[in-house]
Amino acid sequence: MPLLHPALGADPARHAAPFLPAPFLPAACLSDEPGIIDLATLRDLTAAFAGVPEIWRPVIHHRPDRRWYTRLLLSATVEVWLIGWYPGQQTEVHDHGGALGAMTVAEGRVEEDRYDRNWTITRVRQHLTGSSVGFGAEHVHRVANRGQEVATTIHAYSPPELPMRFAPTQDGADVRAAAVPAPALATPAGRDVAAVGAAR
């Protein structure tokens, strides 16, 4: 059984439209059977979440002391995250452990620094409100809010819960896997929840 953020199970009477119509969350995204969701579907999924501010606006926080995030959905095939970016906040340089991924900017703008597998920067892209980007299993990047306003992004990864790798530290320490505790959400019966990376 997939895990849904409590905001997704809110009283539909409070909203103009049904919260989770079938086209919004394809059946494959709610599967209990392990699998991989394709890039086009991941992009569509993040864009769909971003396009319904009634879902994320009551939940999002933009904190000056740390980057805020919460998981909106976890199934055997995909995980979806909501991230709030205060000006000046950024992730570490990281990959997604071989997962496919997508990001949509729900509000504001963020920049994405892309890196090769040797952790060398190759490109900087700006993503504005409404823009969606997908990335393959070898993708390495850093996401940053270098503007003066807050930003909100929606991220999806498939398969879910793969440990991420981070760029080596300047002192030459080994690349490390993420080891941040999972959010306080119930675990589906018979399924372990892996540690969740802080760079999401």
Output the 3-class SS for the chain. Answer: CCEECHHHHCCHHHCCCCCCCCCCCCHHHHCCCCCCCCHHHHHHHHHHHHCCHHHHCCCCCCCCCCCEEEEEEECCCCEEEEEEECCCCECCCEECCCCEEEEEEEECEEEEEEECCCCCEEEEEEEECCCEEEECCCCEEEEECCCCCCEEEEEEEECCCCCCEECCCCCCCCCCECCECCCCCCCCCCCCCCCECCCC
Query: Is 96 part of any known ligand binding site?
Result: yes
Query: Is 94 part of any known ligand binding site?
Result: yes
Question: Can you say which residues are annotated as belonging to the binding site for Fe cation?
Answer: 94, 96, 141
Question: Can you say which residues are annotated as belonging to the binding site?
Answer: 94, 96, 141
